[in-house]
Structure 1
Amino acid sequence: MTERPLLLLDVDGPLNPFRAPFAGLRGYKSHRMWPEVWLSYRDPESRRARRGARIRLHPSHGARLLALPFELTWATAWTHQANTLISPHIGLPGDLSVVEWPELFAEDPDGLSWKTRHLRDWAAGRPFAWVDDMITPRDRAWVAAHHPAPALLLRVHPRHGLRDRDFTALTRWAEGLSPAGR
């Protein structure tokens, strides 16, 4: 049996459209959460830290992600908390693989996203799709030049989150992989 391609999934932007003024009108539900990465940038005694971060999640996204022909992996600064805080609200299993970052938000000498090089290494030569709001043309060019297998870097605007067209693009890309490319 052929391995499915990896889907490396960020939280903020794709699943949590944090820049959307009216996400609730599109079926998103608001939740208050206290992710460690978010708290690390707040005064623990501040009103904002006590209230928590407002996270908007669409309850249908889990089923739609599970229906894709991919092996899902969290590629987010939320790390393992994506399994405990995000998964239950969207219907994903709480034991998805998690990319272990050597350092969060490390500056790249070539101006790539802090995730790019590590995700290429994490994929270990396997085809992968990376869904994030911080992907740039520079990241795409670097992965194309340095990854031996097909890769789709899908930028999702943090105002919109994952949309139907993104699910379609992911499905088409995965289905277009030849058996040898998987």
Structure 2
Amino acid sequence: MLPGRTDRPLVFLDVDGPLIPFRARPVERRRSSGGAVAPLDGTGNPLLDRLDPDDGRRLLALGCELVWATTWMAEANEIVAPRLGLPDLPVVEWPDDDEEPRRGLHWKTEPLTRWAAGRPFVWLDDETTGADRRWVAAHHPARALLHRVDPYVGLTEADLSAVCRWLTAADGAA
């Protein structure tokens, strides 16, 4: 699915690392909104208890168009979104070809840039590098923030503050 034109920036969301950190989050953080940590259900994925239900609220508060950019594909809407209080989101469909990405680039970089179709975007992932940032800056006509989230900690207030600063800077430039 290609995105429709809108003025709102896109936020591409990876799941493993940013939303499901490699280390368990403190229980207090997962209960910070007063909600209980969801018990394991029939999905068979014990790492889902690392999701922070507050992440959904904080991501929605950005006022951007959220898009899944994860190998979870449509399962992100079925399994992850309900646990975060998110609606069904558009999903980036990855190319089926076995073509290697350009040297030094993450395999998602070019497909996400194409998907953005000239719109400003934020990419929250744990695997972006300077090579990806340089390539997007040279090949994408709009502003882009490729923000690396620490995969052992997951999405934090500091990460979201960096996104908010970037969004505010864009508003000030308009």
Q: How far 1:171 moved relative to its partner?
A: 1.1
- The whole-number CA distance in structure 2 between the counterparts of 1:53 and 1:107 is 32
1:13 aligns with 2:17: yes
Other-structure match for 1:77: 71
Mapping of 1:92-111 within 5 angstroms? 92-93=86-87, 95-103=88-96, 107-111=100-104
Relative to structure 1, is the Cα distance of residues 159 and 7 closer, same or farther in structure 2, using a 3 angstrom cutoff?
Answer: same
1:24 aligns with 2:18: no
Q: How far 1:24 moved relative to its partner?
A: 3.3
TM-score of the two chains, using structure 1 as the length reference = 0.80
Alignment-mate amino acid for residue 76 of structure 1: T
Contact in 2 for aligned 1:11/1:76 (Cα 8 Å): yes
Q: How far 1:97 moved relative to its partner?
A: 0.7
1:130 aligns with 2:123: yes
CA RMSD between the two structures: 2.3
Contact in 2 for aligned 1:106/1:114 (Cα 8 Å): no
Tell me which of 85, 88, 99 is aligned to 1:91: 85
Whichever structure has more strand as a proportion of its residues is 1
Contact in 2 for aligned 1:33/1:85 (Cα 8 Å): no
- The whole-number CA distance in structure 2 between the counterparts of 1:89 and 1:119 is 25
Relative to structure 1, is the Cα distance of residues 104 and 52 closer, same or farther in structure 2, using a 3 angstrom cutoff?
Answer: farther
Contact in 2 for aligned 1:70/1:174 (Cα 8 Å): no
Flag structure 1 segments of 5+ consecutive residues without an equivalent.
Answer: 35-50
Relative to structure 1, is the Cα distance of residues 52 and 121 closer, same or farther in structure 2, using a 3 angstrom cutoff?
Answer: same
Relative to structure 1, is the Cα distance of residues 106 and 17 closer, same or farther in structure 2, using a 3 angstrom cutoff?
Answer: farther
3-state SS of 2:131 partner: helix
Alignment-mate amino acid for residue 23 of structure 1: R
1:61 aligns with 2:55: yes
Alignment-mate amino acid for residue 16 of structure 2: D
TM-score of the two chains, using structure 2 as the length reference = 0.83
Q: How far 1:33 moved relative to its partner?
A: 7.1
Q: How far 1:132 moved relative to its partner?
A: 0.1
Tell me which of 151, 155, 159 is aligned to 2:148: 155
Identity %: 51
Alignment-mate amino acid for residue 27 of structure 2: L
Mapping of 1:42-61 within 5 angstroms? 51-55=44-48, 56-61=50-55
Other-structure match for 1:112: 105
